[in-house]
């Protein structure tokens, strides 16, 4: 039987850095964690040392806008990987639900469940009813794209008011970009990811230059 995700274990050093639920800023040390992905594979932040990482927080697993974003990242994954980027996604749902909904996309990067919102609190990811209301006005087109792509609403097993957040973390474990969405469909623009990959490498390789110059498919 596949394991469910469990409450992240935070290191003592990360606990002393900043209070829970406060937002991260550039140059902050990324809070450490140790957990398992939706298939029971251990995932630890320290295992990403030496690599550039995008850590993304989503709402619940059947959220159409969240699944649309994952779909878009899958489309861009190969060229971002050529640029040296690794990805890790966090959902506010139990593992079995994530496998049922997001898992259908066969993501090339790990996904972890944090139903207790332990990691959400550590990274200052917030809930906002105003953000939900704002998306009802500004995200109608994206909602239509999500549903036309097959991401229909399903069971809600997480906080409906959670607002997405994305963090770009460098090889030393330092936060370089902390992006907190303005609404429930707002994510770090792909262009910001490209810029991070360019400035994080003093001597871009030909693979990086080629990967970032390629035009990815968009919806």
Write the DSSP assignment of 104-173 as a string of letters: GG--SS-EEE-TT-HHHHHTT--B-HHHHHHHHHH-HHHHHHHHHTT-------S-TTB--EEEEE-TTS
Contacts of 126 (CB under 8 A, 6+ apart): 21, 162, 163, 180
Q: Which residue, 163, 176, 165, 170, is CA-closest to 27? A: 176
Q: How many domains does the chain have?
A: 1
1: in domain: no
Q: What would the two tokens of residue 81 be?
A: 């990987």
**Ramachandran quadrant class, 217 (left: phi over 0; alpha: psi -120 to 50; beta: rest):** beta
CA distance linking residue 191 with residue 58, whole number of Å? 20
Whether the per-residue pLDDT at 33 is higher than 90: the answer is yes
Counting residues of the chain whose pLDDT is more than 70, the rounded percentage is: 82
Position 5 in a domain: no
Across the chain, what does the average pLDDT equal? 86
Q: Which residue has the higher pLDDT, 81 or 210?
A: 81
Q: Which domain holds residue 142?
A: 12-213
- Tell me, yes or no, whether 94 lies in a domain: yes
pLDDT digits (tens, 9 = 90+) for 111-128: 999 999 999 999 999 999
CATH number assigned to the domain comprising residue 40:
3.40.30.10
With a cut of 90, say whether residue 190 has pLDDT above it.
Answer: yes
pLDDT score recorded for residue 202: 44
For residue 81, being part of any structural domain is answered with: yes
- Residues 167-177: tens digit of each pLDDT: 999 999 999 99
pTM summary value: 0.83
Does 202 reside within a domain? yes
Whether the Cβ atoms of residue 54 and residue 166 lie closer than 8 Å to each other: yes
Residue 218, in any domain of the structure:
no
Residue 62 has pLDDT above 90, yes or no: yes
Residue 4 lies in a domain: no
Structural domain includes residue 20: yes
């Amino acid at each position: 039987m596949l394991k469910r995700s469990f409450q992240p274990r935070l290191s003592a050093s990360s606990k002393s850095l900043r209070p829970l639920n406060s937002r991260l800023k550039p140059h902050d040390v990324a809070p450490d964690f140790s957990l398992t992905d939706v298939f029971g594979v251990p995932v630890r932040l320290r295992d990403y040392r030496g690599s550039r990482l995008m850590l993304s927080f989503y709402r619940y697993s059947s959220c159409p806008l969240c699944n649309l974003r994952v779909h878009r990242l899958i489309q861009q994954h190969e060229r971002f990987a050529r640029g040296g980027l690794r990805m890790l996604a966090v959902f506010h749902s139990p593992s079995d639900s994530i496998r049922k909904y997001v898992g259908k996309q066969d993501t090339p990067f790990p996904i972890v469940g944090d139903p207790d919102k332990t990691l959400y609190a550590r990274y200052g990811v917030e809930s906002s009813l105003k953000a939900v209301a704002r998306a009802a006005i500004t995200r109608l087109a994206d909602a239509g794209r999500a549903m036309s792509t097959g991401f229909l609403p399903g069971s809600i097993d997480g906080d409906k008011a959670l607002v997405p957040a994305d963090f770009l973390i460098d090889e030393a474990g330092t936060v370089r970009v902390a992006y907190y969405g303005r609404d429930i469909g707002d994510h770090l623009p792909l262009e910001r990811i490209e810029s991070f990959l360019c400035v994080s490498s003093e001597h871009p390789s030909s693979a990086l230059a080629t990967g970032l110059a390629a035009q990815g498919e968009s919806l």
